[in-house]
């Protein structure tokens, strides 16, 4: 499993979730009126649907924000390092146990479930895509099409599902896409690309560089430019991508420039795309279209 994102990357998100749920006065009026202040509860986090569980480390962070007295306990035989990122097809699989003041437990329930359900849904959908391309040599990579504020958590979930990471944001990779190329208007756009790539390598030699193309003619021009690490093949059909791989492999850039397929990739099409010989396939759906995994919290009195 990859390391869990640092708390600084999502602590404000937990506070925001708490604020929108409890309001500025921090009031769960239902539990305040229905549950005694000294009542202690025990909640069991249960995976109720086939899939990859992901995001369990965030449960403790949520509990701390709501009430320091809430305790996360491992269930015997279900250690976190074993169950985090694990695929399970068993219903009612126990994951964690929470113990503490019942009011606080009920207040935190929805927020911690929202985090874990979403992250598990992303990891589960990612794993489905990864299984479709097993044995092809292609690697699934994620995108920036994440839930606002969830970037670090969404990308952790894709890694848990078996994908590789793409750029984290606009700051850690130079990626010239179609709209950037439009800004380099005119017949000399390739010279403009070469200038930008050269400047990027001078500024930050280790920063990866990528250029998007949508025709083989553009690819030919891009392959003549030094310093490009990746070429994004945008919305090409499989026969064209096969030609793109052959074009790359027939020249001096074989082994140095990676080709990445992108655009409208589905579970039904990803294996055919992988078999064209591309190195990477980026799929936005694994984060922007993932369905939450059914995970619940069954609470009882201690």
pLDDT at 268 over 80: yes
pLDDT at 206 over 80: yes
Q: Contact, 46 vs 298, CB < 8 A?
A: yes
Beta bridge partners of 301: 41
pTM of the predicted model, to two decimals? 0.95
Binned at pLDDT 50, 70 and 90, residue 75 comes out as confident
d(CA 177, CA 233): 10
DSSP letters, 19-86, are HHHHTTTT--HHHHHHS-TT-EEEEEEEE-SSEE---THHHHHHHHHH-TT-EEEEBTTB-HHHHTT-
Q: What does the pLDDT read at residue 302?
A: 85
Q: What does the pLDDT read at residue 188?
A: 78
pLDDT at 156 over 70: yes
pLDDT at 79 over 70: no
All domains of the chain in start order, with CATH: 7-125+290-301 (3.90.1170.20), 131-288 (3.20.20.70)
Active site residues: 110, 145, 177, 212, 234
Mean pLDDT of 237-242: 98
pLDDT in tens, 251-266: 888 889 999 999 999 9
d(CA 191, CA 199): 12
pLDDT at 271 over 90: yes
pLDDT in tens, 115-155: 999 999 999 999 999 999 999 999 999 999 999 999 999 99
Those residues with Cβ within 8 angstroms of residue 155's Cβ, 6 or more apart along the chain or in another chain: 5, 142, 146, 165, 168, 287
Span between the terminal Cα atoms of the chain, in Å: 33
């Amino acid at each position: 499993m990859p390391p869990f994102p640092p708390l600084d990357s999502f602590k404000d998100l937990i506070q925001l979730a708490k604020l929108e749920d409890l309001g500025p006065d921090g009031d769960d009026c239902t539990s305040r009126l229905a549950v005694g202040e000294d009542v202690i509860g025990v909640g069991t986090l249960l995976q109720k649907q086939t899939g990859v569980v992901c995001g369990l480390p965030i449960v403790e962070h949520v509990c701390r924000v709501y009430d320091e007295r809430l305790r996360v306990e491992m269930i015997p035989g279900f250690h976190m390092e074993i169950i985090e990122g694990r695929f399970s097809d068993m219903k009612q699989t126990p994951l964690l146990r929470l113990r503490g003041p019942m009011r606080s437990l009920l207040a935190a329930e929805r927020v911690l479930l929202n985090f874990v359900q979403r992250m598990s849904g992303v990891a589960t959908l990612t794993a489905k895509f990864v299984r479709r391309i097993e044995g092809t040599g292609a690697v699934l990579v994620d995108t920036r099409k994440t839930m606002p504020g969830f970037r670090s958590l969404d990308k952790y979930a894709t890694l848990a599902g078996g994908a590789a990471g793409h750029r984290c944001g606009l700051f850690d990779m130079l990626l010239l896409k179609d709209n950037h190329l439009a800004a380099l208007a005119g017949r000399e756009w390739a010279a403009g690309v070469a200038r930008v790539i050269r400047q990027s390598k001078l500024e930050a030699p280790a920063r990866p560089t990528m250029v998007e193309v949508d025709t083989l003619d553009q690819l030919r021009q891009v392959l003549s430019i030094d310093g490009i690490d990746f070429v994004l093949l945008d919305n090409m059909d499989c026969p064209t991508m096969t030609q793109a791989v052959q074009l790359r492999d027939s020249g001096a850039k074989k082994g140095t420039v990676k080709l990445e397929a992108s655009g409208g990739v589905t579970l039904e099409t990803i294996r055919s795309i992988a078999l064209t010989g591309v190195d990477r396939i980026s799929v936005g759906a694994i984060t922007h279209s993932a369905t939450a995994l059914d995970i619940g919290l069954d609470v009882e009195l201690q």
